[in-house]
Amino acid sequence: MDLSVVIVIEVLYAIASLALISAGLAVVFGMMKVINLAHGEFMVLGGYATITAVGLGVNIFVAMLVIAPIVVGLFGLVVERLVFRHLYGRMIDTMLASWGLSLMMIGGFKMIFGNTTTGVSGPIPGFSVGNYQVNGYNLFVIVVSVLLLVAMVAVLRGTRFGLVARGTMQRSDMAAAMGHSPDRVYMMTFALGSALAGLAGAVMAPLVGLVPTAGAAFIAKAFITVIAGGPVLVAGLASASGVFGLVNQVFSFLVSPVVGDVALLVAAVVLLRLVPRGITSRFFRGRI
Amino acid sequence: MTLNRRRFLATSAAATGALALPTMALGQSGPIRMGSVLDVSGIFSAYGTPMDMAQRLAVAQINAEGGLLGREVEIIGFDTQSDMALYTQFAQRLVRQERVDVVQGGILSASREAIRQTLRRAETLYFYNVQYEGGVCDRNVFINGVTPAQQAEVLIPWAMSESGPRVYILAADYNYGQITARWIQKYVGDNGGETVGVDFFPLDVSDFGSTIARIQTVSPDLVVAPLVGGPHLSFFRQWAAAGMNERIPLASTTMGVGNEHRVLTPEEGNGIMVAYNYAQELDTPANNAFKEAWAEAYGDTNLIHEIAVSHYMGVKLWAEGVRQAGTTERMPVIEALEDNLSIEGPSGVMTIDPQTHHATLDVHLMRFEDQEMALVESLSQRPPVDTQAVCDLIANPDENTQFEIEI
């Protein structure tokens, strides 16, 4: 009984962390169709922002949930103005530019923070479930992730900005004809996606040691999740994370973490063979 | 370095000269060239950077005493950036272009095996100065790090006596972790215990949540963790975050060699049991002098760790070999070192074992306490019996194998 509770928490945690690291990419790639290969480095930037802020004496929750998203969001804004806005609609060029950006960012991290592992300790103590001990931070990740998905639905559905953004992504010419500036909408959306990446990196930082090249570990999983999720933003994110998190964790638990990662990739291949355009091209159509 | 015509002519002229006069050593007049390959950056930089500092300190000390054989020692060092592919590349360059007299370095066992054969073929003497899984039998190589018989053989029974007989092993997934895990299983069995689980992790794994849950399902008395590198450090954080550090004791054969106990908070590290050849806390005149010299050179002594000192001792052992031999040529230096050559340094007395080219050295059982290593027991002058059981370079000087333990 206790064990099943522990396993459920671990599975939920795996799903939540996948959703969290993919959320920013879902906005930037899923909505805007911008292939940002520097997404992993955006996350690492969020992690470093947190570690630096904590080092300066800021409360760790403030650092993770407020400072990191703001820092990375602003960074995203600047980069969008300087680089990405010139390249909308030019997929290969965007990939090249963002890859170059990722290399530059890795180089920058190495120069500023040193090419070595840094980290902060998790702020939440463990707790027991019967005879088992659970990392309290896992629950925190789950809560953050759920709140994030709820907030995304609320913004996209309930606010005027969400409506305008969705409309602009579908037909930017029509949005422009209605008096909205696609340029500004793209700018805000990209900054929002970057902020989400920063949040994800910040929340993951206490769990994993941060190295300048850590972004590579996140980006593959994030892209796989977003692509397998398909065209519908939040439902795609939730369903793809659900499938992959479950598969990954069950195999990690039964066999080993390595087999868990292999199983995740196999599941992705099988899934994309069955539904090439992603889960939400067949299910949950027309949702958000 | 680019190969311009002048340099090409110079090297080829030197090479021809060497062919014509095989007894004449290269560059007899210039400085003695010591090559080094270390991960000064990347995920193993916590190991490699202090090693690099230690070797520079050792060479500076040698040069301050007037050098070796009246010649200055020069370091030709490459940063391998925690990338195994760069080891072979830089080792080739050290022997082919730089033509060094000796190569010191390599950190992970994977890196040692990547360059060992290159150096042997090129007849360049090689010192590997890191604690490892034992069994390398090669007359071209000298190894002064602790081996399982020196370390795990005493660590495991002590840790089991502090906890209980059921042991779970978490190891890094490459030759070091695989072979060390087998040794640990052997010593657990020898001491009447039982290994209830073994898991291996690639070096970039940093999420141990499911593993921590798995460990709890078999509820061992002790977890032994030969984990390696920055990402694996997350295990100790997550273990403490789950509150497991209060429940199941930990022992490790690697934790702390890169000063991990200073990176973790006291709560995360306290109580972890280890056994090493060196700790900063050793209060001997030689160690205090070493720390003073380090402080003078670099200021902060916090970076000093076990394998940095091991590397320092490796450089000093080689230097003593050159002094005894009266030349930097490979065979005379090997023979001088094989003459039970012994030096004393910060980690105590270290004596070369001629049969295996390993070292007889002191081992200290220690426990992490508030980011320091608290000494529990010192074991004096332990020989590398694991390698001695399989390797005899006196009887078989041409041996070139790494023996592995069978279970």
Residue ranges of the domains in chain B? 32-146+282-362+382-402, 152-252
B80 backbone dihedrals φ, ψ, rounded to 5°: -90, 0
Q: Got the DSSP string for B152-196? A: HHHHHHHHHHHS-SEEEEEEESSHHHHHHHHHHHHHHHHTT-EEE
List of chain A residues whose C-beta atoms are within 8 Å of the C-beta of residue B207: 17, 207-208, 257
- 3.40.50, 1.10.3470, 3.30.110, 1.10.405: CATH of A2-281: 1.10.3470
Query: Is residue A128 within 8 Å of residue B242, measured between CB atoms?
Result: no
CA distance A19 to B271: 36
List of chain A residues whose C-beta atoms are within 8 Å of the C-beta of residue B49: 116
Distance (Å) from the C-alpha of residue B365 to the closest C-alpha of chain A?
Answer: 27
Residues 6+ apart with CB under 8 A from A251: A259, A260, A262, A263, A264
Q: What architecture is the B152-252 domain classified under in CATH? A: 3-Layer(aba) Sandwich (3.40)
Cα–Cα distances in angstroms (integers) from residue B54 to residues A116, B27, B302, B361, in the given order: 18, 26, 13, 19
Q: Which residue of A has its CA nearest to B267?
A: A121
What HEC string does chain A produce?
CHHHHHHHHHHHHHHHHHHHHHHHHHHHHHHCCCCCCCHHHHHHHHHHHHHHHHHCCCCHHHHHHHHHHHHHHHHHHHHHHHCHHHHCCCHHHHHHHHHHHHHHHHHHHHHHHCCCCECCCCCCCCEEECCEEECHHHHHHHHHHHHHHHHHHHHHHHCHHHHHHHHHHHCHHHHHHCCCCHHHHHHHHHHHHHHHHHHHHHHHCCCCCECCCCHHHHHHHHHHHHHHHCCCHHHHHHHHHHHHHHHHHHHHHHCCHHHHHHHHHHHHHHHHHHCCCCHHHCCCCCCC
Q: What architecture is the B32-146+282-362+382-402 domain classified under in CATH? A: 3-Layer(aba) Sandwich (3.40)
- Residue A83 token pair: 């680089």
pLDDT at B79: 94
- Please indicate whether, in this complex, the C-beta atoms of A116 and B230 are within 8 angstroms of each other: yes
- Residue A68 token pair: 């990191």
- Please indicate whether, in this complex, the C-beta atoms of A114 and B211 are within 8 angstroms of each other: no
Closest by Cβ to B242, choosing from A3, A14, A134: A134
pLDDT at B28: 57
- Residue B359 token pair: 């070292």
Residue B214, chain A, CB below 8 Å: the answer is yes
CA-based nearest residue to B78, from B60, B102, B52: B52
Residue B86, chain A, CB below 8 Å: the answer is no
Residues 211-230 of A with CB under 8 A from B: 211, 213, 217
Confidence of residue A123 (pLDDT cuts 50, 70, 90): confident
Which residue has 């030759």 as its token pair? B175
Residue ranges of the domains in chain A? 2-281
Prediction ipTM score: 0.76
Beta strands in B346-389 (DSSP E): 348-353, 358-369, 372-382
* pLDDT by position in tens, chain B (length 407): 455 655 555 555 555 544 444 344 444 578 999 999 999 988 788 899 999 999 999 999 999 999 999 999 999 999 998 889 999 999 999 999 999 999 999 999 999 999 999 999 999 999 999 999 999 999 999 999 999 989 999 999 999 999 999 999 999 998 899 999 999 999 999 999 999 999 999 888 888 888 888 898 889 999 999 998 878 888 998 898 888 888 999 999 999 888 888 888 888 899 999 999 999 999 999 999 999 999 999 988 888 999 999 999 999 999 999 999 999 999 999 999 999 999 999 999 999 999 999 999 999 999 999 999 999 999 999 999 999 989 999 999 999 999 988 76
